[in-house]
Amino acid sequence: TRGVTAWEDAITYGHDFLRFCREVLGYADLTEPHEELCTLLQSQPSRSLILMPRYSFKSSVATIALSLWELLRNTDLRILIYSDTNEKAEGFLNDIKNHILGNRTQSVFREKFPGWESDPKKAVWNQSQVVIRARANAQVEPSIDTAGIETSKVGMHYDLILFDDIVTEANVTTKEQ
């Protein structure tokens, strides 16, 4: 039934990030550089700097897709998406939520993994943080949290921190910055 199929899908897609991106999230037009990026991200280097041109689909793969894929593999993860502004980080989270809610064209995430959204009256589910319903253990940190460079997250403990587009003209114009 549906629970068994979702478990089987989690096993199938949890081992192949590129396949997850293409078949679940609907990123069918990934090219060779994206395939190499997926291979790099799947190998889980402890620290990586990924440099790709703007508008090359890097954030969709390395932030949005990777967050969902890692949560699929471990629903108790605590992820921080860090960008130059809170609003940009929240935009990445909004796209993640759209996959979870089934609002993204071509994405079958909700069909394969239904019910990940939390009831906002019972758990965090807002524009800057979410706790997925699939989480097994209660923790202080949400499943996905967001922050901008001016935001302090002292005392929080994350399993995965994704820095995406943190350098802009607005934050590197002085020697101190």
Tens digit of pLDDT for each residue in 114-139?
Answer: 999 988 888 899 999 999 999 989 99
CA geometry: angle at 142 spanning 109 and 123, to 5°?
Answer: 80
Q: What is the mean pLDDT of residues 160-177?
A: 72
The model's pTM is: 0.88
pLDDT at residue 143 in the model: 97
**How many CA atoms lie less than 13 Å away from 140 in the CB half-sphere?**
7
Cα(42)–Cα(44) distance, integer angstroms:
5
Interacting residues of 140 by C-beta distance below 8 A, sequence separation 6+: 156, 157
The answer to whether the beta carbons of residues 39 and 50 sit under 8 Å apart is no
Reading across the β-sheet that carries 160-163, which strands appear in turn? 129-130, 144-148, 79-83, 160-163
Please give the span between the terminal C-alpha atoms of the chain, in angstroms, as a whole number. Answer: 55
User: What's residue 61's pLDDT?
Assistant: 92
Structure tokens at 37: 């990026």
Task: Give pLDDT, residue 123.
Answer: 87
pLDDT score at 174: 62
